[in-house]
A and B are shown apart, each in its own frame.
Chain A
Amino acid sequence: MRRSFLAALFFAAAPTLSWANDLVTSFTLDNGMDVIVVEDHRAPVVQHMVWYRVGSADEPPGQSGVAHFLEHLMFKATDTLASGEFSAIVSANGGQDNAFTSYDYTAYFQRVAADRLGLMMQMEADRMQNLRLTEEEIIAERGVVLEERNQRTENNPRALFNEQMNAAQYLNHHYGIPIVGWKHEIEQLGMDEVMGFYERFYAPNNAILVVSGDVTPAQVRALASQHYGPIPANPDIKPRAHSPEPPQIAERRVLLDDPRVATPYVARSYLAPERNPGDQRKPAALLLLAELLGGGTTSYMSEKLQFEEQIAVYSGAFYRGTSLDATSFDVVIVPRPDVTLEDAEAAMDKVLQGFIAEGVDLDALKRIKMQVRASEIYARDAVDGIAQRYGQALTSGLTVEDVQAWPALLQEITPEEIIAAAKDIFQDKKSVTGHLMKAEAAQ
């Protein structure tokens, strides 16, 4: 609960593509808080979210995990609410609440009957500035977070491997540090670190309110002005600046063996450009490249590795373009048990070069563009998903206009642009290659 890793794990679903621009309204309060409203009046339900433009990548050195730890502690007391009362009130109103932290954002949300929206805003505005923690709560909740890390990461060799791959990909940027934090640093987090982070980053001019469901923009404006409007902006909120990655000039390798590995595999990541305001064409080409190359049964990798050569049990390619700073393009092959990881890696190299040499299958591109178009229809049935997309984009440095331009941009991308993007991205010297192995194979 409290927090889901939205970081790209390799077996996560491929990105969904959905937009429905005409449902969306945006404006900004006088104190700098941005507001997005996504309307769907079919059911008297709303989702209320506040996204902060702060995530694990904004943590001070030595304090990894503090963004996520604070997210847990935001459910404790304020000046007017007792510890745990926030969630208890949401429950007593038939609502559900939770929160999540990623590299570039931290978000809190409730799903509730539409007539309770004002109450949700009142409580969320309260904890934006009035959090009150005790040492006992910090100690107990630190135990919870350590058990969360145990459950998600320490108990799962694939998650440990992803963490190592990521650490190898980023030499200088905070993206190389896990969102949940390194265990030895989580153990040292206390009141000073948590409250320092809270006071520095939690302010209306560093937040985006995203409301979706059975509500009008006028209603949201009135309620938001009443509840969030009185909170003063924090003048010390500065534009975000992280240490950028230097150019990568050497291939990197990660070899991890663990007795708990049942299915060894090969993964590769390439440092890749992210979507930037007014500059999304190359990321759009990379997204289509990931779909064409490894987006499912009809993809190029599946065709070559699962159908023709039959050396893989699973293969995939992933690109997560919505990111504040440089992101990655990832490829994975899970070989059949009788195929070595060395042979699987050779097959990976061959298939990437083969894709470039053969060029884009025009029928495949047409099918993907059809699915992009259809996803705009399906998205109208799940407006909370649209809300999620705006929250992610706006906390990653993009604008409403960028989000709304994206679907048309995807339709425009040419096969030549996709091949050019592939040539640019698939360079050995800009790669990290990892083998996740059974422990006995490494002895």
Chain B
Amino acid sequence: MRISSRRLGVYTIALVFAIVMNFTVPRLMPGTPVDAMIAQLGSRATPAAIEAIKARFGAVDAPIATQFVDYLKGLATLDLGVSVKYYPQTVVAVLSRSALWTAFLVVTAILFSLLVGVTLGAVAAWRRGGRFDTIVSPLSVVMIAVPPVIIALTTLFLFGVSLRWFPVGYAYDPSLDPGLNFAFVGSVFFHAIMPVLTLSPYLIGEFQTTMRSSMISVLGEDYVTMGRAKGLTSMTVMFGYGARNAMLPVLTNLALMLGAVFGGSIVTEIVFNYPGLGLTLFTASVARDYPVIQGQLLMMTMATLGANLLVDIIYGLVDPRLREAAQ
């Protein structure tokens, strides 16, 4: 499973591009963190307070070149800096708090959607043209198209506000303290149900569609016919022979979808007041908190690039044909 140097080269170029973009994009927005802080005071701001804020955080108005050099220096020492909005908390502290929650949400959503989507796709392909297929497959395409914001607001209003079945916000019941006990873990899962259900339709739709098309091509292969001829049960052939091979394109898709899921999770987190990276990025953008925005964008880029690299490796491991080709 050697990664070709060309592949590594591509990843390095992507990383350099990401580093430069992470620095430039936040600064393209009009206004600076100082403006945001002064604005927060509203009409309470006395002239002295305004001057004090400018004096304390004036460093953000330093020339661009100086800022860029500081940024690169920080990256080299893995020091992402200090947040402006949550001064004097470090960016790492701010992000690590929220990264855990988003990771939990995203992983749960992906696992859940993978299970459901792959099964639906496999069954739909097995009975292609049948009643199941004609209903489920177009529905999947629709689910891909519906924006997460609509699903989020509908579920919140229906299940949270009207029916009061699920809690309307937070990662866990605020009256509980974090700990490895049944009450806390139960609360975490209970509060995650609606956000996960919001992220899932898009993912289920994607997995189902990819799985189905990949499965259809696999089902045409000789070894599948061989399996049926041998007299194996439909289930064994469908999953053991068909799905196992059809999964591979789905896995590649997974890495690409990581970025899309993060994007969708921003809206979900805002609607459900879920303390994840999406909410942090939103708050940081409004406050023009450059260090946090930079840090988060960098983290997300690294995560996506890393996921791609991982999938490449796993693909190589899982598919014997690629292993042979590499050797």
Chains A and B are bound partners: no
